[in-house]
Amino acid sequence: MDGHIDAGKLDQPLRVLELRETGSGVWEWVPLRTAWAQVEQTAKTNLFSKVGVGARDAAVVIRRQSLTLHNALRWGERHLFLTAITRRGRGHLDVSAALVELVRCRAQRTQETVGQAGRPVPSQVLDLTFPAVLTEKYARHEPQETYAQVESCFVLVTPKVIALKAGDLVTVQEGPAQAEYQVKAPHILDEWKNEYEIVWRRDV
């Protein structure tokens, strides 16, 4: 790719974001700096999730700076989930990103400990609030022996630092899929992010 870029085309202000723990167990995207960039929405689908469906793709050209896939960008009110960063010549970076909507989530985990008289006592060992991306996976209708069960399954894409386990409860606190879910299957091998299949079930 031609490394030259007209400086006048870097006319879109972006905020470079970093995930930080702003309180005990509370994680948020916070702005580090403003950077000028060229941003183009493409006709491609960005497969930012390996388990769920993709999102609209954006191609970004930005001056070379400290930037990794652990970061994110804010373009106006849009959140850009970074999926690839490559060098363009000596002075710029090409960045591929997915245009996504963030949802605020709360994850909780309890485990039983032995209390007085040897009785099990539930104890909370995890309580996190964090931003994530919720994408669709599937919805299915499962016939059972005497009843039927509806299962809604989504994929929760989180920053790498958010470490959950199967069985954890996750409350999606905003958006059209607001509900309490259970982590069904973690996918944690990616270097830059984690993905969790989360389910909500009800009998019909």
> Residue 121: what pLDDT?
78
Predicted local confidence at residue 86, as pLDDT: 98
CA 175 to chain centre: 14
pLDDT of residue 46: 96
- Ramachandran area for residue 146 (φ above 0: left; ψ -120 to 50: alpha; else beta): alpha
Q: Which sequence spans correspond to the domains of the chain?
A: 9-100, 103-203
Radius of gyration of the chain (CA): 20
- CA 42, 56, 51, 190 torsion: positive or negative? positive
**Tens digit of pLDDT for each residue in 132-185?**
999 998 555 555 555 566 788 999 999 999 999 999 999 999 999 999 999 999
What pLDDT was estimated at residue 140?
A: 53
Identify the segments of the chain with pLDDT beneath 70: 1-4, 7, 138-149, 203-204
pLDDT on residue 1: 44
Question: Encoding tokens for residue 29?
Answer: 């995207």
Domain at 9-100: CATH code: 2.40.10.270
The mean pLDDT value of the chain amounts to 91
Give residue for tokens 């002075």.
Answer: 91
Rounded (5°) CA angle 98-71-48: 25
Residue 123: per-residue pLDDT? 81
Do the domains spanning 9-100 and 103-203 agree at the CATH topology level? yes
Whole-structure pTM value: 0.87
The answer to whether residues 30 and 16 touch, using CB atoms and an 8 Å cutoff, is no
* Predicted pLDDT of residue 8: 76
103-203 folds as Thrombin, subunit H (2.40.10)
What is residue 157's predicted lDDT score, i.e. its pLDDT? 98
